[in-house]
Amino acid sequence: MSITITGITKDFGKTKVLKNINLTVKEGELLALLGPSGSGKTTLLRMIAGLEHASKGDIFFDGNNMTNVNAKDRNVGFVFQHYALFSHMKVKDNIAYGLRVKKKKDRPTKSQIDSKVNELLELVKLEGLGERYPSQLSGGQKQRVALARSLAIEPSVLLLDEPFGALDAQVRKELRRWLRTLHKQTGVTTVFVTHDQEEALDVADQVIVLNDGEIIQEGTPSDIYDSPNSPFMYRFLGNAN
């Protein structure tokens, strides 16, 4: 699924959080939204999810205008920094959740759900851990469960908001590599929010840099790394360059 955003503006009262954003995420692409804290990344991501509404502008999925479509009808998977796993549910039930709450006519059978859960546990390399509770997992494992859960509904678009932000540096690096492999396997159009330049350049096909609600630069990781286009970009890439 491709995503096109045209002329998106968002005001919270007098604060202009996003100013005339135009961008395209191609089908199957992994795009990083990179920028310092407060630059508007999460607001933009929540808008793609349908959790936030624009003051102006439109969002299209595969050319269809989704601007007024509710979050639950957008078929979007979402993973946040702080594991929103259900602590009272086993790993397998966390993963199955999105399938069990589907409307009756769309809901898979119990055995279809079981086989989907096993397939996902394998995909995120957590075979054999389905019976555990989240408290019995490491931080990195919890985020892999969160990803499996978001993929269970076979989303058209996967939105990741600093998914590895709470993990230590070594685990972050490993999960980044793993996410690239997973992305190749699933081919789901993905938008990844991060404030970490190295992470964005490492993981993404395309990078969009936001500052103060505006797009400052966009391109491939090597475009961005090799040719910062402004004093802001030089400063921002400072410790990656």
Residues of the shown chain interacting with ligand ADP in the complex, contacts defined by CB under 6 A: 12, 15, 17, 35, 37-43
**Residue (193 or 201) nearer to ligand ADP, CB:** 193
Distance CA(55)–CA(114), nearest Å, equals 42
Q: How far is the CB of 23 from ligand ADP (least distance, A)?
A: 15
Evaluate the CA torsion angle 106, 112, 118, 119 in order and state its sign.
Answer: negative
Rounded least distance, CB 37 to ligand ADP, Å: 4
To ligand ADP, the closest distance from the beta carbon of 196 in angstroms equals 12
Minimum CB separation of residue 41 from ligand ADP in Å reads: 4
Q: Which residues touch 25 (CB under 8 Å, ≥6 apart)?
A: 2, 3, 4, 31, 189, 191, 206
Q: Are 148 and 123 in contact (CB under 8 A)?
A: yes
Token code pair at residue 226: 């090799």
Q: Based on CB atoms, which residue is closest to ligand ADP, 22 or 64?
A: 22
Residue type, 44: L
The nearer residue to ligand ADP, 16 or 132, going by C-beta atoms, is 16
Which two three-digit tokens encode residue 24?
A: 């395209």
Q: Is 54 left (phi over 0), alpha (psi -120 to 50) or beta?
A: beta
Closest CB 211 distance from ligand ADP, rounded Å: 9
What secondary structure does DSSP assign to 22-78, as a single string? EEEE-TT-EEEEE--TTSSHHHHHHHHHTSS--SEEEEEETTEE-TTS-GGGS-EEE
Specify the residue, 17 or 215, whose C-beta has the smaller distance to ligand ADP. 17
Nearer to ligand ADP, 36 or 187 (CB): 36
- The DSSP call for residue 124 is T
What minimum distance in Å lies between the beta carbon of 8 and ligand ADP? 12
User: Which of 117, 157 has the CB closer to ligand ADP?
Assistant: 157
